[in-house]
């Protein structure tokens, strides 16, 4: 039995090139869905009350690079910018 794996890619581990590499490596390991945040820092920093969002342009550029690098993985984008509060 095969079970689809959802992997948390945090903020893509750096710039667009790092994001693309993350997608290639996650895809090679069989990941079905990649979860990506739109914050500048990881969730740990956000949990400490310091949430800073990536600019829409930078986030879009990273998503474009990551999408181009994928072989089969899909994306689930966590847009903190759309959360109330």
pLDDT digits over 73-84, tens only?
666 666 555 555
Q: What is the pLDDT of residue 13?
A: 87
How many structural domains does the chain have? 1
Q: In the chain, what's the furthest Cα-to-Cα distance?
A: 42
For residues 51-71, average pLDDT: 86
User: Is residue 26 pLDDT above 70, yes or no?
Assistant: yes
Q: Which residues face 5 on adjacent strands?
A: none
State yes or no: pLDDT of 3 exceeds 80: yes
Helix (H) or strand (E) holding 28: helix 16-28
Q: Which residue has the higher pLDDT, 48 or 62?
A: 62
Is pLDDT of 50 > 70?
no
For residue 33, report the phi and psi dihedrals to the nearest 5 degrees.
-135, 135
pTM exceeding the 0.85 threshold for the entire prediction: no
Instruction: State which residues form the domain around 74.
Output: 6-79
Q: Is residue 46 part of a domain?
A: yes
- Spatial distance between the Cα atoms of 40 and 37, rounded to a whole number of angstroms: 9
Average pLDDT over residues 23-42: 83
């Amino acid at each position: 039995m095969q079970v689809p794996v959802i992997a948390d890619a945090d903020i893509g581990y750096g710039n667009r090139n790092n994001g693309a590499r993350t997608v290639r490596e996650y895809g090679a390991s069989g990941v079905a869905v990649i979860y990506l945040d739109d914050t500048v820092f990881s969730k740990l920093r956000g949990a400490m009350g310091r949430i800073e969002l990536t600019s829409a342009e930078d986030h879009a550029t990273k998503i474009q690079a990551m999408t181009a690098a994928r072989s089969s993985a899909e994306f689930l984008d966590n847009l903190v910018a759309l959360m109330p509060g």
